[in-house]
Structure 1
Amino acid sequence: MAEKEKSFDANPNQKVYDMPHQVDHLVEVFDIYFAEQVKVYKNEPKSEVVKTTKNTTVKAILAPFKKDKKKLNVTSTPSDPKTVVKKGESVTVNWEEKVHAKDENGKLEYDYPKINKIKVGKKLFIVAKCSGDKAKLTIEIFENKLTNAESVYDNPVKFLIGEEEKTKIEFDIKSFQPGHQYEQEITLKPKSKEEFKKLIDKFNKRKDKNAFLYLKADVTDTISDINFVYQNTEFQNAEGNRFEVLGTPCYCNRDIKVDEMISIIYNLRDKGNVKTKREHFFDEGTELISSIGISSGKMTDSSNKDKIKLFTDEFNTMFKKYEINTCKRKIHFVGQICLETINFSKTYESRSTVPDNYKGGVSFQGRGMKQITHDYNYLAYYDYIKFTKLYPIYEKYAKKDVTGNIDESVGECIKNQSKANDMGLNNAFYEDLKTFAKLLSSDLFHSVNSAGWFSVIWKKKVLLAMDKGLSDDNVKSVTKLINGGETNLIERQNYTKWTKEFFNYETDCINK
C-alpha cells in the first residue's frame, strides 16, 4: 500500500508539473532586404623591437613606421622623440593595424547593410531577420512593373546560388533570438548565357534601362503562430525604399554619365600622376573651346560640372552616330584621345613651327580630340561635312611617287596643278579650308565629331582593330592606323589599360 502511495497514481495532477510542457511558439519575420557584404575591421596591436646600428633619435626610428599608412597610432618606448639612442641600443615601436575581425570562434566577421541599387548580373546578399523555431522561410524575387508596361524579368526572378539556378531562397528558422539574421549570397542573373543576353536586350529597349525588384516571403513547416511584424509579406517595395536594378552592367550600348566621365578623367590623371592641373579641363593652347574650359575650382563644382556635361553629351552623341557602342571600342577611343589631348587639356597643338612632314604647314597642325593633322585630312573632313567632292579632285591631280602614293600637299597641288584649280581646288578655297580647320579646335561639335569621323569613316579599319581586343598588341595596331606609326605607344597602351580597369571590363562587360 505504501509503495502505491509513492507512485504518480497517488496524485494524478502531478504529471502536469513534472512532464515537459508543450507551448505554441511564435515565428516572427522582422525584415528581409537586398544587401552587400562589408568586412568588419578592428585595430590589432603590433610591436617591434628595433636595435640601432648607429647613434640616432627616437624620431628617426619612428619615421618609416609613421610613413606606412597601414600602421596607426605609432608610439614607442622611450616615448620622447628627441631621445638619443646610442648604437646597439633598442627601441620598442608599438602601433595598430587595421585587420579583418574574427568572432570568438575564429570566423571572419561581416556586416550586411541594405542596398537600393545594383547592376544586373552582380553578386549580392538576401538578408532575413526573423525569430522562431522549426519553421521554413521561403523568399522569392519579383519585378514591380511600376510605370513599365512589360516586365524584363520572368516572375519569379531567376538567380544563381553558386552555379545552380534558383527561383527561391529557403532559410530554416531555428533561433528564438529576436531578429536573428540569415544571409544568402546570390548572383542576379540566369544561368544560361543566351537568357542573360535576352535579358540585357530587354533592358536596352527601355528608356531608363532599369527595373525594380522586391522580395516576397512565406513561412511554412510550422505549427507555431506566424507574425509578419509589419503585416506585409512584401519587402523593399515601398516608395523611397525600392531596389533598382541597372540593366546595363557595362558601358556597351549606353551613354556615359557625367559623373562617370569625371571619374574616368580623374582616374586617368591619377594613374598618370597628374597633380598640378588635375582639376583643369581643356584650358590650354592658343585655340580653345571656351564653352568647356575649366581653369579654376574642381570639375565636380556645379558650374564646372555643367561644362563636363556639354562635353559628355557631345561624346555620347558621337558614339551613337559612329557606332562606337561597345566597351572595347569606347576603351580604345578614350585611351587614344587621352594621349592626343594631353590628358584632356588641349584641342590644338599650338605650334609656331611644324616638322617638314606636316602637309600644309602650321595652318594644318593637330586639332580636335584626335589631333587631325595635314591639309589633306582636313580636306576630307570638309568634304564629309559640306557634302562636297573636292578630295577626289586632289587625289586625281596631285603628284604621285613611284609607288603611286600622293607626294604633295593640297596646297602644293593647288599651286602646281591648274586642272585642279579649274575644278574648284584653288587658292580662294584653300584660305577657306584654313578657316574651317580652326573649327576643330574651337567648336565642340567639330572637335568631337571629327574624331569619330576619323576613326570610323576615314580610317575604316580602326573599328575592326578595336574589336579584336585590348592587349598591348591590339593598342599598337589601333595606334598605327590612327597615327600612321607608333608615336607615344607606351603611353597609349597605359591609358587604354587604365580605362579598361576603370570600366571593370573583365568582370562587367557582356560583349567580351
Structure 2
Amino acid sequence: MSEVQEKDNYSANPNQKVYDMPHQTDHEVNVVKIYFAKQVPKMTWETKEETYTVKSGGLVSDVKKKYEKKGRRNIQADKEDSVRLTAKESVKVTWEEEVQAKKADGSPDFDYERIDQAIIKKKVWVVAECQGNSGKLSVEIHENKLTNTENVYDNPVKFLDGETEKSTLEFSINGTLVYAKEITMRPKSDQDVKKLIEKFSKRTEVNAFLFFKAEVKETQDTVIYPDDTHEFLNKENDRFEIKGTPCYCNRNITVDEMIDLIYHLRDKQNYKSKRDSFFNSGKEKITTISITSGKISENRDKIKLFTDEMNAMFKKFDIKTCRRKIHFLGQMYLETISFTYTYESRDSVPDNYKGGVAFQGRGMKQITHDYNYLAYYDYVNNTSHSDTYMKFRSGYESVGECVQNRPKARENGLTEAFYEDLKTYAKNISENLFHAFNSAGWYSTIYKTATIKAMDNGLEDSDVEKVTTAINGGQTNIAERKDYTKWTREFFKYDTECVNK
C-alpha cells in the first residue's frame, strides 16, 4: 500500500460529478425517476491557444485582459504579467473555453434539465432514470384533477411521437441509466386540439396537472418503484403543470420566449451593432437589468427579472390577450429605443414639455410632462394632487407654473417643496424596474383608457395608428411602430395560434 493510500484524510476529486441514483444491483430493475425536461447542451472545458501580436506596446497583463470573456477561465501567457512589450512583439496566450461536449461518434452531447410546466402543442422530453438490464418500461401520462371537478384530458393523455399519436411510451431497458424521448403535447387532429383548448378555457387558471404511471414488463428481475402507486410527479410540490393555450393569451411569457423575441426584433430591424445590448443606455437606467457585456442569452438572470416584472404588470392591468400584449410590446420597443433606454436623456427639451427637462420621457412607455408624473404619483400614493392642479390651474399651464402662480393650489398642498420632491420621485420611473412597468401599465389602461380600447380593435396598421395616438398624442415614428407591432405579431404566431382572434 502506498504512502498516500495509508493516509485516511485524502480528498476526492472536487470536480467529480456525483449522481443521486442508487448503486446498480444485479437481477433488479429500479425505476428511480420519471419527469418532463428540456434538452440542454452538455458543456466541457477545452484548452485553446493563440499567438497575439502587439500593435503598439503595453503590458502582458493588458493582453490577457483582451481574452477575458464569459465562458473562459485560466487565461495564461508565456511571459510574466509585468513584462512590458514592444510593437510587433508576440505573446502566446492559452485559456480554457467552455464548449459543447461531443459523444464518441462526434455528435453534440446533451443533458436533460427538469421542467415543471409547459404549454399545449409544445415539444418536451420525457426522461426516465431506470437501472436494470432487461424488460420494457411502459409510461403513460395522466391528468390529476386536483380541485377541478372533471378532467380536461381523456386519460391516458394522448401525445405525438413524431407524427404518430400515442398514449404510451416504451423504453427498452438495456443497462443505460437515463432514457429520453421527445414528444409533442397535443393530440394529432386539429379538431381534437380545438376541443381540448375549449375545455381549458373554462378553467380559471387555464391549466392542468399531469403525472406518469409506469410499469415494467417482459423481465424476470425484481422491479422496484419509489412507492406502491407506480406514479411519478403526483405528489404535492412535485406536480407538472401544463397551460391550455398554445398562444400567449392568459399565460406568462417565459424567459426563453422573451430572449427569442428580443433577438427576433433586433434581427428584423437589422440592429447589428447593439444586438446584445439591453437597457444599458441613458443618464438614468435600471442597473439590475442592464446588459453591457456578453450575449443577451448569456444573461438569463437579468432577462428573468425583466420578464417576471412584465408578466406581473400584464396580470395586474389585465393585459392578458395576445392582441393587447402584441400592441404593448411593439409600442414599448419603440418608446425604449429597441429596449435600451428607460430615460429620454435630453439636456434640453422642446417648449411643449410641461415641466421641462425634469419631466421628460421615462419608463417603458416614456411618460412625459409634469401633470402625467403627478397623476402617477397620485395613483401610487392614493393622493389627489392632480385634482388640485386641475381645479386651480389656468388654461394649459404646467404643474410647476400652477404651483408658482396659484396661491390656492399651494394652500391645498401643491407647494414648491412638493414639486421639488416630485422631480426626485420621477426618477423611480427610469431607475426602478417596478415603477418602469407599473407606470406603463397604469398609463395604458387606467389613465389613458383609449389606449386599451384601441388595442382591442385589432392589429392592422389602422389599429396601430389609433394606439399610437392614444399613447403619443400624435403619429410620431408611426412607420417603426407599425413594423415593431407587425414583427411581434409574427413572433406570437397570432394568425395561426391565437385562440382569441
Same fold (TM over 0.5): yes
For the aligned residue pairs, the C-alpha RMSD in angstroms reads 3.7
Is the contact between residue 152 and residue 196 of structure 2 (CA under 8 Å) also seen in structure 1?
Answer: no
Instruction: Name the structure 2 match of 1:306.
Output: 301
Deviation at 1:298, TM superposition (A): 1.2
Deviation at 1:464, TM superposition (A): 1.4
**Whole-angstrom CA distance in 2 between matches of 1:288 and 1:394:** 29
Question: Secondary structure at the residue paired with 1:383?
Answer: helix
Question: Secondary structure at the residue paired with 1:204?
Answer: coil
Is the contact between residue 212 and residue 231 of structure 2 (CA under 8 Å) also seen in structure 1?
Answer: no
* Structure 1 spans left out of the alignment, 5+ residues: 1-115, 125-140, 161-165, 170-184, 217-227, 232-236, 401-406
1:252 aligns with 2:273: no
**Whole-angstrom CA distance in 2 between matches of 1:457 and 1:378:** 14
The within-5 A match list for 1:107-506 is: 119-120=119-120, 143-145=141-143, 151-155=151-155, 187=188, 190=191, 196-202=197-203, 204-206=205-207, 209=208, 211=210, 246-301=243-298, 304-400=299-395, 407-506=396-495
Deviation at 1:211, TM superposition (A): 3.7
Deviation at 1:248, TM superposition (A): 2.5
Question: Secondary structure at the residue paired with 1:300?
Answer: helix
**Whole-angstrom CA distance in 2 between matches of 1:390 and 1:287:** 26
**Whole-angstrom CA distance in 2 between matches of 1:427 and 1:329:** 39
Distance 1:391 1:499, change over 3 A: same
- Look up the equivalent residue of 2:443 and give its one-letter code: F
**Whole-angstrom CA distance in 2 between matches of 1:188 and 1:157:** 14
Q: Deviations over 1:225-262 (max 9, x none)?
A: xxx9789xxxxx9979x999652311111111111111
Q: Deviations over 1:118-150 (max 9, x none)?
A: 8536899xxxxxxxxxxxxxxxx9751369576
**Whole-angstrom CA distance in 2 between matches of 1:455 and 1:376:** 16
Q: Which structure has the bigger radius of gyration?
A: 1
**Whole-angstrom CA distance in 2 between matches of 1:435 and 1:511:** 42
Distance 1:362 1:326, change over 3 A: same
Aligned residues: 339
Instruction: Name the structure 1 match of 2:54.
Output: none
- Look up the equivalent residue of 1:460 and give its one-letter code: T
- Look up the equivalent residue of 1:363 and give its one-letter code: A
**Whole-angstrom CA distance in 1 between matches of 2:157 and 2:335:** 46
Question: Secondary structure at the residue paired with 2:205?
Answer: helix
Distance 1:200 1:230, change over 3 A: farther
**Whole-angstrom CA distance in 2 between matches of 1:272 and 1:335:** 12
Q: Deviations over 1:430-458 (max 9, x none)?
A: 10110011111111111111000100111
Is the contact between residue 213 and residue 231 of structure 2 (CA under 8 Å) also seen in structure 1?
Answer: no
Question: Secondary structure at the residue paired with 1:286?
Answer: coil
Distance 1:445 1:196, change over 3 A: closer
Is the contact between residue 152 and residue 203 of structure 1 (CA under 8 Å) also seen in structure 2?
Answer: no
Distance 1:354 1:155, change over 3 A: same
Is the contact between residue 158 and residue 190 of structure 1 (CA under 8 Å) also seen in structure 2?
Answer: no
Deviation at 1:196, TM superposition (A): 3.4
Is the contact between residue 253 and residue 326 of structure 1 (CA under 8 Å) also seen in structure 2?
Answer: yes
**Whole-angstrom CA distance in 2 between matches of 1:478 and 1:389:** 28
- Look up the equivalent residue of 1:280 and give its one-letter code: S
Distance 1:399 1:275, change over 3 A: same
Is the contact between residue 206 and residue 245 of structure 2 (CA under 8 Å) also seen in structure 1?
Answer: no
- Look up the equivalent residue of 1:425 and give its one-letter code: L
Is the contact between residue 252 and residue 509 of structure 1 (CA under 8 Å) also seen in structure 2?
Answer: yes
- Look up the equivalent residue of 2:366 and give its one-letter code: Q
**Whole-angstrom CA distance in 1 between matches of 2:240 and 2:425:** 51
**Whole-angstrom CA distance in 2 between matches of 1:188 and 1:120:** 13
**Whole-angstrom CA distance in 2 between matches of 1:503 and 1:356:** 40
Deviation at 1:275, TM superposition (A): 0.8
Question: Secondary structure at the residue paired with 2:449?
Answer: coil
- Look up the equivalent residue of 2:199 and give its one-letter code: K
Instruction: Name the structure 1 match of 2:90.
Output: none
Distance 1:274 1:392, change over 3 A: same
Q: TM-score, normalised by structure 2?
A: 0.60
Q: TM-score, normalised by structure 1?
A: 0.59
Deviation at 1:320, TM superposition (A): 0.7
Is the contact between residue 364 and residue 378 of structure 1 (CA under 8 Å) also seen in structure 2?
Answer: yes
